Structure formats: C-alpha cells, structure tokens
Amino acid sequence: MRLLADSQVVLWHVLDDPRLGSEPTALIEADDAEVLISIASLWEIAIKKALGKLEAPDDLHERVEQLGFGLLQVAPEHAWHVRALPRHHRDPFDRLLIAQAQVERLPILTADPAFDAYDVTVLWK
C-alpha cells in the first residue's frame, strides 16, 4: 500500500518515539508498504528545528531514506491544488500534504485530527 506519512509520524518513527504506537508502526513496516514523505515535510521540520521548536536529527534527510521512505517531490499541480482546498486548516505545510494526497490519491498517516475535515483518507489519528 502506498501512503503519505505526515511530518510528526516521520519524526516519531525515526526517533522510535512510543507515541507512534503499534498500529501506525505496523503500517509503515508492512511488507507491501510504500511509505512516502513529502519534501514539504522535510522543509517544515528543518524550519522548526532551526527555530528551536522541535528536536530532529541533523541527518534526518538521510535517515528517512535509509529507513526506506520514498520522497514525494512537490509538483506544480500539488502547489496549485492548494487553492481549491476549503479553509478548514491554516497550516500551509499540512494543506500542501492534503493537496498532495488528493492529487496522488494517497491516504495520509497522521495523528492530526484536522485532516479529517478534508476529502482524504486518514489512517490512524
């Protein structure tokens, strides 16, 4: 199954944080899983790390690839699709993830209940 992991899920998985729990971990580690991380998530994490708002390994971009995550580039159609989203959520990074999920027809693995307001399949929460 192809799925898009949000920033928090990726960080928790990389850091082996118990908040991730067994259900999302099983989805990520399933034999048939193709787990993608958006370049926008790496950008968001880098910004928040630089501002001191979160802890993340300096080699995060390398570790996600070593763990088998695929990288989802931000394509023009993803960026442009954001304009059509309802204004349920103000976070620009999350809005871009939602747009990517809709355009690519991917479920999103997230703990964020705000994603439920959009026409996207949410795994976990």
Q: Encode pLDDT of 26-39 as tens digits.
A: 999 999 999 999 99
Q: Could you give the CA distance from residue 124 to residue 40 in angstroms, rounded to a whole number? A: 21
Q: Output the CA–CA distances (angstroms, integers) from residue 88 to 26, 63, 113, in the order listed.
A: 30, 32, 11
CA 10 vs. chain centroid, Å, equals: 7
Mean predicted lDDT score pLDDT of the chain: 95
pLDDT of 90 strictly over 90 = no
Q: Encode pLDDT of 35-76 as tens digits.
A: 999 999 999 999 999 999 999 999 999 999 999 999 999 999
Task: Tally Cβ neighbours within 10 Å of residue 94.
Answer: 22
In 3D space, the residue among 11, 28, 40, 97 whose CA is nearest the CA of residue 69 turns out to be 28
Amino acid type, 78: H
> What average pLDDT does the segment 72-98 reach?
95
Per CATH, the architecture of 2-124 is what? 3-Layer(aba) Sandwich (3.40)
Helices 39-50, 7-14: axis angle to 10 degrees equals 70
Map out the domains of the chain as residue ranges: 2-124
